[in-house]
Amino acid sequence: MDGESKRWAVAGRKAAAVGRIAFRHQLAYKTDFAMRGFFLLFILFVFIQLWSAAYEGDFSKSISGFTLKQIVWYLVFTEALTLAAPPLCSRIEEEVKNGDVAIRLIRPQSYAGYHFSVFASEALTRFVVHLAIGSAIAWPFVGPPSFGYGWLGLLALSAGALTVTFLLLMIVGLCAFWVEETSGLYFVLQKLQFTIGGMLLPIDLMPEWLQRVCAWLPFQAALYFPARMGVHFDSTLLVKQLAIQIGWIVLLGLAVSRMYRRGVKKLHVNGG
Protein backbone atom coordinates (compact mmCIF):
# COMPACT_ATOMS: atom_id res chain seq x y z
CA MET A 1 0.00 0.00 0.00
CA ASP A 2 1.51 3.37 -1.00
CA GLY A 3 1.71 6.34 1.36
CA GLU A 4 -1.40 8.10 0.09
CA SER A 5 -3.62 4.98 0.20
CA LYS A 6 -2.34 4.21 3.70
CA ARG A 7 -3.19 7.74 4.81
CA TRP A 8 -6.75 7.38 3.49
CA ALA A 9 -7.11 3.94 5.09
CA VAL A 10 -6.03 5.36 8.46
CA ALA A 11 -8.42 8.31 8.06
CA GLY A 12 -11.20 5.85 7.20
CA ARG A 13 -10.56 3.77 10.32
CA LYS A 14 -10.59 6.90 12.51
CA ALA A 15 -13.80 8.09 10.84
CA ALA A 16 -15.42 4.70 11.47
CA ALA A 17 -14.41 4.84 15.16
CA VAL A 18 -15.90 8.34 15.56
CA GLY A 19 -19.01 7.21 13.67
CA ARG A 20 -19.50 4.25 16.02
CA ILE A 21 -19.25 6.33 19.19
CA ALA A 22 -21.47 9.08 17.71
CA PHE A 23 -24.10 6.44 16.89
CA ARG A 24 -24.15 5.24 20.49
CA HIS A 25 -24.09 8.77 21.87
CA GLN A 26 -27.16 9.86 19.92
CA LEU A 27 -29.19 6.98 21.35
CA ALA A 28 -29.27 8.99 24.57
CA TYR A 29 -31.44 11.63 22.88
CA LYS A 30 -34.68 9.61 22.84
CA THR A 31 -36.95 12.63 23.40
CA ASP A 32 -35.36 14.43 20.46
CA PHE A 33 -36.01 11.38 18.26
CA ALA A 34 -39.60 11.16 19.43
CA MET A 35 -40.23 14.89 18.88
CA ARG A 36 -38.87 14.81 15.35
CA GLY A 37 -40.84 11.64 14.60
CA PHE A 38 -44.04 13.27 15.82
CA PHE A 39 -43.34 16.43 13.79
CA LEU A 40 -42.70 14.33 10.67
CA LEU A 41 -46.02 12.50 11.13
CA PHE A 42 -47.83 15.80 11.57
CA ILE A 43 -46.25 17.58 8.61
CA LEU A 44 -46.79 14.60 6.28
CA PHE A 45 -50.42 14.35 7.34
CA VAL A 46 -50.89 18.05 6.42
CA PHE A 47 -49.13 17.57 3.06
CA ILE A 48 -51.20 14.48 2.25
CA GLN A 49 -54.39 16.48 2.86
CA LEU A 50 -53.14 19.41 0.73
CA TRP A 51 -52.02 17.29 -2.20
CA SER A 52 -55.17 15.12 -2.01
CA ALA A 53 -57.17 18.34 -2.43
CA ALA A 54 -54.93 19.47 -5.32
CA TYR A 55 -55.44 16.10 -7.10
CA GLU A 56 -59.12 16.06 -6.05
CA GLY A 57 -58.49 12.61 -4.56
CA ASP A 58 -57.88 11.22 -8.07
CA PHE A 59 -55.11 8.59 -7.95
CA SER A 60 -54.89 8.29 -11.74
CA LYS A 61 -54.40 12.02 -12.38
CA SER A 62 -50.86 13.15 -13.22
CA ILE A 63 -49.38 16.64 -12.71
CA SER A 64 -46.04 17.24 -14.46
CA GLY A 65 -45.50 13.47 -14.50
CA PHE A 66 -46.33 12.90 -10.80
CA THR A 67 -49.38 10.97 -9.55
CA LEU A 68 -50.75 11.62 -6.04
CA LYS A 69 -49.02 8.47 -4.79
CA GLN A 70 -45.70 9.55 -6.27
CA ILE A 71 -45.93 13.09 -4.89
CA VAL A 72 -46.73 11.83 -1.36
CA TRP A 73 -43.86 9.35 -1.38
CA TYR A 74 -41.60 12.04 -2.88
CA LEU A 75 -42.42 14.20 0.15
CA VAL A 76 -41.72 11.29 2.52
CA PHE A 77 -38.25 10.95 0.98
CA THR A 78 -37.42 14.68 0.99
CA GLU A 79 -38.67 15.11 4.58
CA ALA A 80 -36.73 12.03 5.73
CA LEU A 81 -33.56 13.48 4.20
CA THR A 82 -34.14 17.03 5.46
CA LEU A 83 -34.84 16.00 9.04
CA ALA A 84 -31.91 13.57 8.98
CA ALA A 85 -29.31 16.35 8.96
CA PRO A 86 -28.01 17.13 12.49
CA PRO A 87 -27.60 20.81 13.49
CA LEU A 88 -24.00 21.06 12.25
CA CYS A 89 -23.88 24.87 11.87
CA SER A 90 -24.98 25.55 15.44
CA ARG A 91 -22.57 22.88 16.72
CA ILE A 92 -19.57 24.50 15.05
CA GLU A 93 -20.74 27.93 16.14
CA GLU A 94 -21.04 26.72 19.74
CA GLU A 95 -17.63 25.03 19.56
CA VAL A 96 -16.06 28.32 18.53
CA LYS A 97 -18.03 30.37 21.07
CA ASN A 98 -17.30 28.19 24.10
CA GLY A 99 -13.82 27.16 22.98
CA ASP A 100 -14.54 23.43 22.63
CA VAL A 101 -13.01 23.63 19.16
CA ALA A 102 -9.68 23.28 21.05
CA ILE A 103 -10.63 19.71 22.02
CA ARG A 104 -11.20 18.83 18.35
CA LEU A 105 -7.93 20.41 17.22
CA ILE A 106 -5.65 18.60 19.69
CA ARG A 107 -6.47 15.28 18.04
CA PRO A 108 -4.56 13.76 15.12
CA GLN A 109 -7.64 13.92 12.92
CA SER A 110 -8.98 16.33 10.35
CA TYR A 111 -11.52 18.79 11.80
CA ALA A 112 -13.90 18.39 8.84
CA GLY A 113 -13.31 14.60 8.89
CA TYR A 114 -14.38 14.40 12.53
CA HIS A 115 -17.56 16.36 11.86
CA PHE A 116 -18.31 14.32 8.75
CA SER A 117 -18.11 11.07 10.77
CA VAL A 118 -20.47 12.38 13.43
CA PHE A 119 -22.80 13.83 10.78
CA ALA A 120 -22.88 10.63 8.69
CA SER A 121 -23.50 8.43 11.72
CA GLU A 122 -26.38 10.56 12.99
CA ALA A 123 -27.86 11.37 9.59
CA LEU A 124 -27.97 7.74 8.41
CA THR A 125 -29.66 6.60 11.63
CA ARG A 126 -32.19 9.41 11.49
CA PHE A 127 -32.82 8.83 7.77
CA VAL A 128 -33.72 5.17 8.35
CA VAL A 129 -35.96 6.05 11.32
CA HIS A 130 -37.67 8.86 9.38
CA LEU A 131 -38.24 6.62 6.37
CA ALA A 132 -39.96 4.11 8.65
CA ILE A 133 -42.10 6.81 10.28
CA GLY A 134 -42.94 8.43 6.92
CA SER A 135 -43.87 5.05 5.45
CA ALA A 136 -46.20 4.41 8.38
CA ILE A 137 -48.34 7.39 7.40
CA ALA A 138 -47.96 7.41 3.59
CA TRP A 139 -48.69 3.70 3.11
CA PRO A 140 -52.26 3.71 4.58
CA PHE A 141 -53.21 6.89 2.64
CA VAL A 142 -51.70 6.29 -0.83
CA GLY A 143 -50.57 2.65 -0.86
CA PRO A 144 -47.15 0.93 -0.83
CA PRO A 145 -44.10 2.47 -2.48
CA SER A 146 -44.09 0.12 -5.48
CA PHE A 147 -41.83 2.10 -7.82
CA GLY A 148 -39.76 -0.73 -9.34
CA TYR A 149 -36.06 -0.06 -8.69
CA GLY A 150 -37.02 3.27 -7.10
CA TRP A 151 -35.76 2.25 -3.64
CA LEU A 152 -32.43 1.30 -5.14
CA GLY A 153 -32.22 4.70 -6.84
CA LEU A 154 -33.19 6.48 -3.63
CA LEU A 155 -30.55 4.70 -1.57
CA ALA A 156 -27.88 5.10 -4.27
CA LEU A 157 -28.37 8.87 -4.38
CA SER A 158 -29.05 9.43 -0.66
CA ALA A 159 -25.43 8.93 0.43
CA GLY A 160 -24.28 11.60 -2.03
CA ALA A 161 -27.25 13.81 -1.10
CA LEU A 162 -26.35 13.74 2.60
CA THR A 163 -22.70 14.42 1.75
CA VAL A 164 -23.70 17.49 -0.31
CA THR A 165 -25.90 18.63 2.61
CA PHE A 166 -22.97 18.13 5.00
CA LEU A 167 -20.65 20.20 2.82
CA LEU A 168 -23.20 23.03 2.46
CA LEU A 169 -23.74 23.08 6.23
CA MET A 170 -19.98 22.90 6.83
CA ILE A 171 -19.40 25.96 4.62
CA VAL A 172 -21.95 27.92 6.66
CA GLY A 173 -20.64 26.48 9.95
CA LEU A 174 -17.02 27.39 9.12
CA CYS A 175 -18.10 31.03 8.75
CA ALA A 176 -18.13 30.93 12.59
CA PHE A 177 -14.31 31.11 12.37
CA TRP A 178 -14.75 34.69 11.07
CA VAL A 179 -18.13 35.80 12.44
CA GLU A 180 -19.46 34.31 15.65
CA GLU A 181 -23.10 34.29 14.50
CA THR A 182 -24.05 32.02 11.61
CA SER A 183 -27.78 31.59 12.25
CA GLY A 184 -28.70 34.17 9.57
CA LEU A 185 -26.69 32.33 6.93
CA TYR A 186 -28.12 29.01 8.04
CA PHE A 187 -31.65 30.44 7.78
CA VAL A 188 -31.01 31.41 4.14
CA LEU A 189 -29.47 28.01 3.32
CA GLN A 190 -32.38 26.15 4.89
CA LYS A 191 -34.95 28.18 2.95
CA LEU A 192 -33.08 27.62 -0.31
CA GLN A 193 -33.14 23.87 0.37
CA PHE A 194 -36.87 24.03 1.14
CA THR A 195 -37.66 25.87 -2.11
CA ILE A 196 -35.21 25.45 -4.96
CA GLY A 197 -33.83 22.27 -3.39
CA GLY A 198 -37.18 20.63 -4.11
CA MET A 199 -38.18 19.76 -0.57
CA LEU A 200 -41.73 21.12 -0.64
CA LEU A 201 -42.34 20.64 -4.35
CA PRO A 202 -40.59 18.61 -7.07
CA ILE A 203 -38.52 20.87 -9.31
CA ASP A 204 -40.47 19.49 -12.32
CA LEU A 205 -43.49 21.44 -11.07
CA MET A 206 -41.63 24.76 -11.06
CA PRO A 207 -41.54 27.25 -13.97
CA GLU A 208 -39.08 26.29 -16.66
CA TRP A 209 -36.78 29.29 -16.13
CA LEU A 210 -36.48 28.34 -12.43
CA GLN A 211 -35.74 24.73 -13.32
CA ARG A 212 -32.85 26.01 -15.49
CA VAL A 213 -31.52 28.05 -12.55
CA CYS A 214 -31.85 25.07 -10.17
CA ALA A 215 -29.84 22.91 -12.57
CA TRP A 216 -26.78 25.07 -11.86
CA LEU A 217 -27.12 24.97 -8.08
CA PRO A 218 -26.11 22.21 -5.63
CA PHE A 219 -29.41 22.16 -3.71
CA GLN A 220 -31.23 19.77 -6.07
CA ALA A 221 -28.43 17.20 -5.61
CA ALA A 222 -29.17 17.18 -1.87
CA LEU A 223 -32.93 16.49 -1.97
CA TYR A 224 -34.57 16.43 -5.40
CA PHE A 225 -32.29 13.85 -7.05
CA PRO A 226 -32.79 10.95 -4.58
CA ALA A 227 -36.48 11.66 -3.92
CA ARG A 228 -37.37 11.88 -7.62
CA MET A 229 -35.31 8.79 -8.42
CA GLY A 230 -37.22 7.02 -5.61
CA VAL A 231 -40.55 7.52 -7.37
CA HIS A 232 -39.36 7.70 -11.02
CA PHE A 233 -36.49 5.27 -11.52
CA ASP A 234 -34.39 5.86 -14.62
CA SER A 235 -31.04 4.09 -14.84
CA THR A 236 -29.56 6.56 -17.39
CA LEU A 237 -30.58 9.50 -15.26
CA LEU A 238 -29.24 7.75 -12.15
CA VAL A 239 -25.73 7.62 -13.62
CA LYS A 240 -25.97 11.28 -14.69
CA GLN A 241 -27.22 12.40 -11.28
CA LEU A 242 -24.54 10.38 -9.49
CA ALA A 243 -21.94 12.12 -11.67
CA ILE A 244 -23.45 15.54 -10.86
CA GLN A 245 -23.40 14.70 -7.14
CA ILE A 246 -19.74 13.67 -7.35
CA GLY A 247 -18.98 16.93 -9.16
CA TRP A 248 -20.64 18.97 -6.42
CA ILE A 249 -18.95 16.92 -3.68
CA VAL A 250 -15.53 17.64 -5.22
CA LEU A 251 -16.30 21.34 -5.70
CA LEU A 252 -17.85 21.87 -2.26
CA GLY A 253 -15.16 19.70 -0.66
CA LEU A 254 -12.49 21.98 -2.11
CA ALA A 255 -14.41 25.01 -0.85
CA VAL A 256 -14.61 23.50 2.67
CA SER A 257 -10.91 22.65 2.63
CA ARG A 258 -9.96 26.16 1.49
CA MET A 259 -12.28 27.81 4.00
CA TYR A 260 -10.93 25.67 6.85
CA ARG A 261 -7.29 26.41 5.98
CA ARG A 262 -7.97 30.15 5.88
CA GLY A 263 -10.38 30.16 8.84
CA VAL A 264 -8.16 28.24 11.24
CA LYS A 265 -5.55 31.00 10.90
CA LYS A 266 -8.17 33.55 11.97
CA LEU A 267 -9.53 31.40 14.76
CA HIS A 268 -9.78 33.00 18.17
CA VAL A 269 -10.54 30.34 20.79
CA ASN A 270 -12.58 31.76 23.62
CA GLY A 271 -12.52 31.04 27.31
CA GLY A 272 -9.52 29.66 29.17
Partner 1 sequence: MLALQTRGLGKTFRVKRKEAGLSGSFRSLWKPNWETKEAVRGIDLTVREGETVAFLGPNGAGKSTTIKMLTGILHPSFGEAKVLGLTPWKERERLAYRIGAVFGQKSQLWYHLPPIDTFELISRIYEMKRDEYTRRKDDLIERFELGPYLHTPVRKLSLGERMRCEIAASFLHGPRLLFMDEPTIGLDAVVKQRIRELIRERNREEGTTVFLTSHDAGDVETLCSRAVVIHHGGVLVDEPVDRMKREVLSRKIVTLKLAGHGSRAALPDIAGTRWETEEGGCRLAVDLKRTTIERVLSELVGRVGFTDVNVEDPPLEEIIKHIYGMKGEAD
Binding site for partner 1 (CB under 8 A): 10, 13-14, 17-18, 21, 24-25, 28, 98-103, 105-110, 264-265, 267-269, 271-272
CB closer to partner 1 out of 139 and 263: 263
Phi, psi of 67 (to 5 degrees): -85, 170
Least separation in angstroms between CB 108 and partner 1 = 4
CB closer to partner 1 out of 152 and 269: 269
CB closer to partner 1 out of 57 and 113: 113
Question: Quick check: 14 and 113 in contact, CB under 8 A?
Answer: yes
CB closer to partner 1 out of 140 and 272: 272
Least separation in angstroms between CB 240 and partner 1 = 37
Least separation in angstroms between CB 94 and partner 1 = 12
Least separation in angstroms between CB 178 and partner 1 = 11
CB closer to partner 1 out of 110 and 211: 110
How many CB atoms sit inside 10 A of residue 144's CB? Answer: 10
**CA distance linking residue 180 with residue 183, whole number of Å:** 9
Instruction: Give bridge partners of residue 254 from the DSSP assignment.
Output: none
**What is the number of alpha carbons within 13 Å of residue 183 lying toward its C-beta?**
3
**CA distance linking residue 19 with residue 11, whole number of Å:** 12
Least separation in angstroms between CB 25 and partner 1 = 5
Least separation in angstroms between CB 256 and partner 1 = 17
Least separation in angstroms between CB 85 and partner 1 = 20
3-state secondary structure of 67: strand
**CA distance linking residue 195 with residue 203, whole number of Å:** 9
Instruction: Give bridge partners of residue 221 from the DSSP assignment.
Output: none
Question: Quick check: 112 and 170 in contact, CB under 8 A?
Answer: yes
List b or e across 146-182, with b for residues whose CB sees 16 or more CB atoms inside 10 angstroms. Answer: ebeebbebbebbbbbbbbbbbbbbbbbbbbbbeeeeb
CB closer to partner 1 out of 53 and 103: 103
CB closer to partner 1 out of 108 and 207: 108
